[in-house]
Amino acid sequence: MTAIQTRNLRKEYKGLVAVEGLDLEIGEGELFSLLGVNGAGKTTTVRMLSTLLRPTAGEAWICGHSILSEREQVKGLVDISLQETAIARKLTVEENIAFYAALNGQSREECEKTKRRLYEAFGLDAVAKQRASRLSGGWQRKLSVALALATDPRVLFLDEPTLGLDVIARRELWQTIRSLKGKMTIILTTHYMEEAEALSDRIGIMKAGRLLFVGTKEELFSRTGKKRVEDAFLEIVCGGGDNE
């Protein structure tokens, strides 16, 4: 089943085109990475698909629901971990999870289950009673990502989830993301090529708002003749690849 489908999706900000003619199809349970340099349109794309931004033109469907005409249904299916750390700073870790789960419709019992699930997945029980503002940057980031999973979404958008994490924390988060594979559809935007290489089922490469390549790692290597995602990415972005 198709989890995400976009047709000629476009976003323009006061004359500046951020995303242009995006046609994309992502299957249910797939982990899809969007790669691109700054300003490529990755964040704008995930913000449109998660209902945070209205497209200027085009259409997209999440599990068959239009992001334009069925926003409420789409909101019930998706969640997002933003590029910025998005937590309630004066609430404890436990309170943050309970707040976010309750806001999204969970009963007290469901909130408790969600807490236990996220403690286990992210090791957050060690800091459960601490205020978010007193956590290290790494723990804050983990909490921010964990909150996106509190709603157990069918489609999860992870916008630069490992930004600012040290190498150990990054690897730990990779492990958590791997454990989610197949359970939900994940769209990951990242600057880290090795992250995309390690985690993705398929990769999309964007440049200046346009999608230049979509395919598996193997297809990327075969297309570019390279053996590393970073080299292949540079070949596509700097070599002016065409839509596949």
Partner 1 sequence: MNKKKGSFSRTVTLAKRNVLEILRDPLSFIFLLGMPLLLEILFYYLFHKMTPQFEMKYLAPGIVVFAQSFLSLFSGILISIDRNTAFLTRLYVSRAKAHEFVLGYTLALLPVTFLQSALFFLVGGILDPSIWSARMIPAVLVSLLPAVFFIGCGLLIGSLCGERSVGGVASAVIAGQSVLSGMWFPLDGLDGGIVTLMKALPFKNAVDLVRSVSLGTWDGAHPAPLFIVLAYAAAVYALGVFVFGRRMRAQ
Q: What span, in angstroms and rounded, lies between the C-alpha atoms of 145 and 136? A: 14
Query: 144 or 224, CB closer to partner 1?
Result: 144
Those residues whose C-beta lies under 8 Å from the C-beta of residue 84, and which sit 6 or more positions away, are: none
Query: 83 or 162, CB closer to partner 1?
Result: 83
In the list 4, 24, 78, 173, the residue contacting partner 1 (rule: CB under 8 A) is 78
| Listed ranges 32-40, 88-96, 162-170, 227-235: which one lies at the site for partner 1 (CB under 8 A) | 88-96
| Listed ranges 17-25, 102-110, 169-177, 218-226: which one lies at the site for partner 1 (CB under 8 A) | 102-110
Query: 26 or 147, CB closer to partner 1?
Result: 147
Question: Is 44 near partner 1 (CB under 8 A)?
Answer: no
Residue corresponding to tokens 């926003």: 71
Those residues whose C-beta lies under 8 Å from the C-beta of residue 199, and which sit 6 or more positions away, are: 31, 33, 174, 177, 178, 181, 188
Residue corresponding to tokens 């995400």: 4
| Listed ranges 78-86, 160-168, 173-181, 219-227: which one lies at the site for partner 1 (CB under 8 A) | 78-86
Query: 86 or 121, CB closer to partner 1?
Result: 86
From 43, 118, 24, select the one nearest 82 (Cα to Cα): 43
Q: What span, in angstroms and rounded, lies between the C-alpha atoms of 144 and 158? A: 10
Give the DSSP letter string of 173-194: HHHHHHHHBTTBEEEEEES-HH
- 116-135: which residues touch partner 1 (CB under 8 A)? 131
| Listed ranges 4-12, 17-25, 98-106, 216-224: which one lies at the site for partner 1 (CB under 8 A) | 98-106
164 neighbors 5 (Cβ within 8 angstroms): no
Q: What span, in angstroms and rounded, lies between the C-alpha atoms of 159 and 235? A: 23
Query: 88 or 208, CB closer to partner 1?
Result: 88
Residue 91 tokens read as 């609430």
Q: What span, in angstroms and rounded, lies between the C-alpha atoms of 115 and 108? A: 11
- 133-152: which residues touch partner 1 (CB under 8 A)? 147, 151-152
How many residues touch partner 1 under the rule CB under 8 A: the total is: 31
Q: Quote the least distance from Cβ 108 to partner 1, whole Å.
A: 11
Query: 30 or 79, CB closer to partner 1?
Result: 79
Binding site for partner 1 (CB under 8 A): 50-52, 72, 75-76, 78-80, 82-88, 90-91, 95, 99, 102-106, 110, 131, 147, 151-153
